[in-house]
Structure 1
Amino acid sequence: MAKIVLEYTNRPLQGFIIYSVARWPQFHLNMITFFPTYAQWIEATGVWRVNIHGMVTKPLPMASRRRTVAYAVVKRLLKMDEVQLRSPIFQARSEMFLFQRVSGESVQIRLGGKIKDIGISKRTGHFETSFDLDAQTVSETVVETPYGQKLCFESVNGDTYSTSVTTMGSVQLLHTSGTSVISDIDDTVKLTNVADRRELLANTLLREFVPIPDMVDLYKHWSSSGAAFHYVSASPWQLTRPLNDFFQSAGLPDGSMHLKLFRLKDSTPLGRMRSSKKSKRDVIIEIIDHFPNRKFILVGDSGERDPEVYAKVAQQRQNQIAGIAIRRVPSRRSKQKTEYALKNLAQTLPNDRLRVFTSADEISDLVSPKEII
């Protein structure tokens, strides 16, 4: 346990095997990624329900045709030269998409000195399950962090002859009452410029991620007041590692992360990274339903469809929505369509629960210490 606490103090990229670009593995091991999740307290049975979610992959061979085609498409779209293609940022980011999903892989974790079967990875390479832990087991293994209590765990290699390495993960413990912030990422806390598809791709693959400074300060303030965070975004799961790194360097509070399933063959890199899986609304509704006694602040932007998504959420779970904040940013949509969406969103909320803002200090009062239980 001491080792886990030390590793968290240094805030590594949780859930990943970390390699520098120069040392990226050329062997084709199965690699497990654990996504940041949460556990909720079940009052009726007196247990913690722990949610585990992750993915099993292996790198594409260097001579893969899929790798060659992907590089050629991105090079053409962004008009990249050879220097840009060899840049450490592009090499590291592109590798996140250049892998094979591994299905049928059995996943086990070690938590609190006990081994638990998590299940079998699906066709997409993802695995997801939940299980219950009694309060005593949790109290013996919980780790105190600047962002609340967490359970830390590690992967277990069930194959004696495999050379795979251990992967760390964590689960945030959330109590039944309090305030949670459900936040978008792109153009809400991270400058992405979704309205310009070429800039979107460049900011995703070629450049260091850039935080929106006043939003970072706001989220720090809300976190210090006791709010918990859930980041729900249309960014693909492949970006979990660099996003975790970005959150760490920017100083954004930890929280569960809920991204989109995306495969290169589903669309071009300039597409919207569509998913046949859960919609953003479905994910938000699921989070809210896990915590019927918590209040929620939804934060997004006007660049795409956050106003429409949040309006549908507010219609279905109005009693738990304490406020919705929409950051005004450029959009590919017409001004009339954007204003219509915001007007419709306002009609789903009572009183002044909708804030359309350009500066974070305009919404700082949405969360205050007296609201946190």
Structure 2
Amino acid sequence: MAPLLLFFGLALLTLASPPPENSNGLQPRAVSETLADILDNLRDGVNVDDIKQSVLPDFWSIPGTDEITKELGLNETGIRALPLEFLNIPGYANYTSQGWNVRFHGMAYKQPLSGPGVVSNHTLDEAANKFLPDFDISELQPHEQDNSRNLTSAILSLPQEGERLLFALNASGGRGFQGGWTGVVEWAKTTDSRGEISGFVQLPTNSENGLPDGNATNAMVVELDVHTNRTDTGNATAYLVPRDGITILSDIDDILRVTKIYVPKEGLLNSFARDFVPWMNMPEIFTGWFRQHPDSPYHFHYLTTTPEQATRVYMDFIYKTYPLGSFDTRPLNFTTVDQTFSVRRTLLNEIFQTFPNRKFILIGDTTNSDVMSNYPELVSAFPGQVQCILLRNTSATDPDNGFPYNTKGFETLKQEQYMFFTTPDDLRGLDFANGDCRNASARMGTVDFSWQGLPFEKSAARGRARGDMWAAVVVTVAFAVLL
């Protein structure tokens, strides 16, 4: 863990000093020292556990709108001149006796670093370089430079409090459903101090075009187009998910795309500069599942704990590469300790509670300690809902991975309920509707329900005692860092 903390410490260095504010309240030249203050404030948001789950540090402690505008030298006139944007996270809807309830989740914001006239490309490049140690943005390809600038601008966006939002809805036609239903939802409250909205809304109904019956046998997942007023950046799709059926719920980093969070320098380049690329032929496997049962298709749900400001690129990648589905990401506003320190488990609990009759296929990888503990815990927390846990054994497929992982949580699970795999082809042929969870032809190896992937553990000469010693060292160091 120490190299990761050192790495992020080196990444958040300082810049130079700001020029005076111009008459419009905007600064076209470098505002280096002020950006340095903002980036320095991010240090408190870097949490050891979060670094293990995502290549990006935890930005929930990023300064608020007032602080950022002050540091960038923007006045009210300058802020008003910026267009309002909205990150609309594709949601899911469950069916109840009162009809469909749709989960809305999103963030209203403005991006002062996103265009010319506010700050120069030079200033934005200086900020981007803080996330690219040992590299300069000038060394990247032109499209990689754009990737870095866009993500840096998103991270340093200004959440907009007090915005009132209206959503126009349209249920698309699909298999077994003609579509044509339309409705409007006005969010009951204005956006909070972090620019967010989050919660469920019961859909309005009308007598002309009804919505599908979510209790019907072999009911389909229906797409609901969601358009946000006042901006063209807030369009998304929500999914009307039937009461019964199967949901494939997957993590993203190092299971659906190549991230290499276990190699920090590579991880940051893969997230801040390079185009996202799928891990091997995983899209082919997901496409096979999407087509597997056309009369009763699976629902796909994607979950990442990457901070909300940085998730637009994740969603764009998923929807161009994998089957369409709902999405969960790390929120900015927290009201409970669990939401703050157990983000993934909180999001998992919410979707499991929303769909108590559905079966879940959980997909992740062994480098993610949250997944390694949360997934098996869900088996006992929600009896009968977890059908399969499928985990990529990253240590077995990438020699650069030095992260140990603990399989202790799987000891009480039935063997046929989980599978550790090494390539996407190990998943080929699994038919979840028929109860499949393990591929007998795949090389799954042995699970001894303890720490695995420890340094030197493959050396027989060091024996089991050496592995036990390293387990103790790992735990001791983790506690020392966290305290």
Normalised by the shorter chain, which TM-score bucket?
A: 0.7 to 0.9
1:311 maps to what in 2? Answer: 376
Query: Given the alignment of the two structures, is residue 285 of structure 1 paired with residue 349 of structure 2, yes or no?
Result: yes
Gaps of 5+ in 1: 1-25, 158-163, 264-273
Residues 70 and 319 (structure 1 numbering): CA distance in 2 closer, same or farther, change over 3 Å?
same
Question: Cα offset for 1:248?
Answer: 3.2
More strand by share: 1
Identical-pair percentage: 23
Q: Any conservation in 2 of the 1:328–1:356 contact (CA below 8 Å)?
A: yes
Q: Any conservation in 2 of the 1:178–1:371 contact (CA below 8 Å)?
A: no
Residue type at the aligned position of 1:322:
Q
2:317 maps to what in 1? Answer: 246
Residue-by-residue CA offset, 1:76-135 (whole Å, 9 max, x unaligned): x24224243962222223222131111121122123243523522122221112111266
CA distance in 2, matches of 1:56, 1:71: 23
Match of 1:31 among 85, 89, 94: 85
Q: Secondary structure at the match of 2:311?
A: helix
1:152 maps to what in 2? Answer: 225
Aligned length: 318
Q: Which one has more relative contact order, counting CA pairs under 8 Å at least 6 apart?
A: 1
1:266 maps to what in 2? Answer: none
Match of 1:258 among 313, 321, 328: 328
Residues 238 and 139 (structure 1 numbering): CA distance in 2 closer, same or farther, change over 3 Å?
farther
Residue-by-residue CA offset, 1:334-364 (whole Å, 9 max, x unaligned): 3xxx2xx22x232232241110001223234
Question: Cα offset for 1:241?
Answer: 2.1
Q: Where does 1:229-240 land on structure 2 (aligned, <5 Å)?
A: 229-240=300-311
Residue type at the aligned position of 1:150:
E
Q: Where does 1:175-186 land on structure 2 (aligned, <5 Å)?
A: 175-186=242-253
2:11 maps to what in 1? Answer: none
Q: Any conservation in 2 of the 1:51–1:128 contact (CA below 8 Å)?
A: yes
Query: Given the alignment of the two structures, is residue 54 of structure 1 paired with residue 106 of structure 2, yes or no?
Result: yes
Q: Over aligned residue pairs, what C-alpha RMSD do you find? A: 3.1
Q: Any conservation in 2 of the 1:60–1:67 contact (CA below 8 Å)?
A: no
Match of 1:110 among 141, 146, 168: 168
| TM-score of the aligned structures, taking structure 1 as reference length | 0.76
CA distance in 2, matches of 1:138, 1:233: 39
Residues 170 and 82 (structure 1 numbering): CA distance in 2 closer, same or farther, change over 3 Å?
same
CA distance in 1, matches of 2:162, 2:332: 19
Q: Which has the larger radius of gyration?
A: 2
Gaps of 5+ in 2: 1-79, 170-181, 213-219, 396-400, 437-483
Q: Secondary structure at the match of 2:290?
A: helix
Residue-by-residue CA offset, 1:236-291 (whole Å, 9 max, x unaligned): 222332222212332x011111112469xxxxxxxxxx982751012112111111
2:127 maps to what in 1? Answer: 70
Question: Cα offset for 1:176?
Answer: 0.5
Residue-by-residue CA offset, 1:9-33 (whole Å, 9 max, x unaligned): xxxxxxxxxxxxxxxxx95122112
Question: Cα offset for 1:365?
Answer: 4.8
Match of 1:214 among 265, 273, 281: 281
Q: Secondary structure at the match of 1:120?
A: coil
CA distance in 1, matches of 2:99, 2:165: 23
2:238 maps to what in 1? Answer: 171
1:347 maps to what in 2? Answer: 411
Match of 1:356 among 420, 429, 435: 420
Q: Where does 1:185-204 land on structure 2 (aligned, <5 Å)?
A: 185-204=252-271
Question: Cα offset for 1:139?
Answer: 5.0
Query: Given the alignment of the two structures, is residue 326 of structure 1 paired with residue 391 of structure 2, yes or no?
Result: yes
Residue type at the aligned position of 2:260:
N
Structure 1 runs (4+) deviating above 6 angstroms are: none
CA distance in 2, matches of 1:137, 1:130: 23
Residues 275 and 103 (structure 1 numbering): CA distance in 2 closer, same or farther, change over 3 Å?
same
